[in-house]
Amino acid sequence: MTPLTALSDALAALVQQAAPIVVGVHGGSRRGTSGVIWQDGVVVTAEEALRRDDGLQVALPGGETVTATLAGRDPSTDIAVLRIAGTVGSVLEPAPEARPGELVLALGRRHGAMVSRFGIVSQAGEAWRSMRGGRIDRFIRLDLSLDAPLEGGAAIDAAGRLIGMQVFGPRGRVLVIPAATIARVVPQILADGTVGRGYLGLGLHRVGGGRRDAAPGQAGVIVVSIDPDGPGAAAGVLLGDVITSWNGEAIAGLRDIMVRLGSESIGTAVDLGLVRAGAATKLTLHVGKRPAG
């Protein structure tokens, strides 16, 4: 046996080993997408690819298609959780922290058949915030080509361990939502149907074109509406206030606020730097939990 045939056989064996946890998901996309059996009766898939909340079906590894119900979504981490009847599949051991250069297989299902892509981890780094403010436990980018039906499928390492779920990032880059993030988010969704987000009770609009070097009061976010029962009102925020800093860190736009309102922000005290009628002032605000709906 040559080294190439040995590698080929090893890759095929890895795909076969992981096949029992990889499913097809039909939820509004004409071509469908993929998912991962996370635990008995529970499937995770890419939230962005799940176009509807009802009429969901899951194509199981054995060829059977079953009805699924949506347990909940977390757009901030791109995780959707589905419930299916019965005890199906097994689970994979989670991989250790991914490292650049590691071999990786991206697995999914198209029309019920297993599909795989082979590549490497091109970039890996510390935890990061998504554009919607979700905390992703590790930044993992893959160097491989990914078809739309494989989004939401399983990314595994050379030992057959689960790195996480592959999704499309900005500009079509292939990213991985790590197994650690899925493990943190799934119990919250199963319990509450969602993941809590921080709430200020303020309607905000950017001022100053997002320039961090603008003059005081000319960069930040301006308060355009206030929930009278929300944390902002309780803290004494007024219409027209410009929020310029959060715990001493400059605020240049709405995203600077959004990324700070993850679930871990709920109940925390925040020192807001404001410009009110041209004068700098500070307030302490206690972050609330975003109301449902």
pLDDT band at 125 (very low <50, low <70, confident <90, very high): very high
pLDDT band at 291 (very low <50, low <70, confident <90, very high): confident
CB 43 within 8 A of CB 84: yes
Q: Tell me the CATH number at 142.
A: 2.40.10.120
CA distances 51 to 45, 226, 243, Å, are 12, 32, 35
If DSSP codes are grouped into helix, strand and coil, which group holds residue 257? Answer: helix
pLDDT at 49: 92
Question: Which is nearest to 205 in space by CA: 226, 223, 189, 187?
Answer: 223
From CA 214, how far away is CA 218, in angstroms rounded? Answer: 6
Residues 242 and 122 in one domain: no
pLDDT band at 262 (very low <50, low <70, confident <90, very high): confident
Which residues, other chains included, contact 288 with Cβ-Cβ below 8 Å and sequence gap of 6+? 198, 199, 200, 201, 230, 231, 266
User: Average of pLDDT values for 89-97?
Assistant: 87
- Tell me the residue type at 10: A
CB 226 within 8 A of CB 239: yes
Domain that holds residue 219: 198-289
Residues 221 and 118 in one domain: no
Last residue of one domain, picked from the residues 195, 221, 255: 195
pLDDT at 131: 81
pLDDT over threshold 80, residue 170: yes
pTM, rounded to two decimals: 0.83
Residues 221 and 185 in one domain: no
- Tell me the residue type at 177: I
pLDDT band at 209 (very low <50, low <70, confident <90, very high): low
pLDDT, tens digit, for every residue of 33-91? Answer: 999 999 999 999 999 999 899 999 999 998 899 999 999 999 999 999 999 987 666 78
User: Average of pLDDT values for 166-195?
Assistant: 94
pLDDT over threshold 60, residue 11: yes
Our count of domains for the chain comes to 2
Residues 58 and 181 in one domain: yes
Residues 226 and 177 in one domain: no
User: Average of pLDDT values for 169-193?
Assistant: 94
Residues 47 and 139 in one domain: yes
pLDDT over threshold 70, residue 188: yes
pLDDT, tens digit, for every residue of 24-48? Answer: 999 766 678 999 999 999 999 999 9
Which residues, other chains included, contact 13 with Cβ-Cβ below 8 Å and sequence gap of 6+? none
pLDDT at 4: 92
Structure tokens at 186: 């799934």
Residues 171 and 244 in one domain: no
Residue 6 phi/psi, 5° resolution? -65, -45
